[in-house]
Structure 1
Amino acid sequence: MKKILNTLTVLFLASLCLTAQKRQPDYEAYIKKYQSIAVSEQKKYGIPASITLAQGLLESRAGKSPLATEANNHFGIKCSDWRGDTFFQNDDQKNECFRKYSNPKESYEDHSSFLAKRSRYASLFSLKSDDYKGWANGLQSTGYATSKTYASSLINLIELYQLNMLDSESSKLLASNKKKKKAVIEEKTIAEALAESSTVVSSDFGVIEEPFDHKVYKNNGVKYVLAKPGDTYKSIAREVNLPEKVLRYKNEVTDDYVLSVNEVVYLGAKKSKAAKNVPATHRVEAGESMHSISQTYGIKVKKLYQLNDITYGSPAVFGKVLNLK
């Protein structure tokens, strides 16, 4: 009798599991309604469409939460540094302030901008736009939501409704667009590149239309451009179709850092050590900093400190020989 009961219990739990995993019509309707917006936002920012939709489903209860129906807020974004309309409801605390939008599309657009403009999420933009698991875990670890199961909830939704197919299709479209114009990208040291003129550029987030203001090179396998008179991180970010916050993060500079003429601006993440074709050491010259040296060789600043067993934040010492590998 006990064995039969155990068997029935297992079958009952299995049935519950299957029921829990069954697709819901209202969720499918939500996906169909907003998938084109999510794909469009992926093309602009590189945020996986699957992640955007899964967050929308989870945060808005498939568009049926009061926040979604009364404020068009599908992502639970609160009022910090917000100057638009507001909506109040209980959340972690009573009567909290949330952003209110004119329509759901505005909510989707603001969700992308919200992630792209905050340094806490900058590391996510170095992930591939079809790495939904990396994005899900990254959103949880950077504190987008307080739930300890936030990442797994997103991943479960994505896999149940096969939302990752949207990421792949969007990436394929981007790739086919890139093939229409091949970027001229050359492996050049900074010194070699300084002697050359500007021409063509292509970004990981899409092809940039002509005319091109900068030529793209590679140093240590990482794409970069050289700043021209009048350039800012904002203007270069616009040209290469990257969020300014992401571009600053890749170059390890603060929001108030001002570019100088001929300064290196990397379009990708720097490496842990220097390239094979450069010397293994560098003697610090007058006026150099650990950051400027890291830019010269395409090495992350933190890694440069670690390679030399120097306390992070210590200034570069004139005449000191630094290990680059």
Structure 2
Amino acid sequence: MKRLFLLISLLVLSKFSAQTWATEDQYIQKFAQYAVEEMEKYKIPASITLAQGLLETGGGQSRLALEGKNHFGIKCKEDWSGKTMKHTDDAPNECFRVYEDPRQSYEDHSIFLATRKYYTGLFNLDMKDYKAWANGLKKAGYATNPRYASILIGKIERYKLYEFDNTSSKEVLYAVLRMYPDLKDDRSFMARLEPGKMVKRDPVTVSVPYKQTSFAQQEKRVERIKTKAEILNSILIKSHPNDGLKYIVIPEDTNVQFIANKFKVSESRLTKWNELESDVLKKNDIVFLESKNSDGNTATYKVTPGEDMHDIAQKFGIKLHKLYAKNRMDEGQQPSPGQLMYLIDKKPRN
């Protein structure tokens, strides 16, 4: 029993040690180095980069950061040829970039700002003026949250991230240690600070009694593959970023009748609300369970290859005929890749 208890304890400890970036402080300790290195290469304030990383990842705990190593919520865009993942942000199932490691994400963030015309004005600002940079990012349209600039400034001032704007990549870890003096007792951090002075530990050997299991017992441990019916019956209603509209994402090919029966909505309403031309629903289709809105939840959207007007209307929860009207397009006409679509009516000039 003692051996079993020791094994369980080690497994639990290893699990918790693997869950890095559990707090914003730990995120800063881990990634300040990357932010300062990028500042030296691209002249982007380290305080801004770190604050954006903190906000976008929720202190490193977001799905994009954990699964895609994407720390800045950068979407695929037309020039991305690397790995991708689907994630709901401004709309369901949006395409986001996937990186090999967080350092690659940090550098891509710098390149993204340095090469996009929307952000060229930022590089005319004082590199130590984090408030101007925060407001400049919001003005340039980096995020749709109206409080984006004030949130960044709040994080910078709360954690004194502006101190990293005045340090070099060779001294950044010492700056972290000044901010978090308790780290002197953290062996892994001190190893980064002074790698030549790392103290080696003797490996711990745990003896576990071997017990042979039959093939039948091993089979029971294999997770059973769900049937198509089970997958369809497990669909959950989601809240769309556009005013919380209720919608679902089809997990397997099915039809309107099945969805209508499952969610107690008439087939005619589902067809009308989603502007469907047939009763066939494909995997990853977005289906609304109520009438869509007349406007999207973001002002504009750039069309990606393969998308049509119906795809865009479903992605942003906007009525199809309203989408045509806002863009002065004839019904049936389709957009071109890279075309800028308007999702909210332009305000008339006075």
TM-score normalised by length of structure 2: 0.42
TM-score normalised by length of structure 1: 0.45
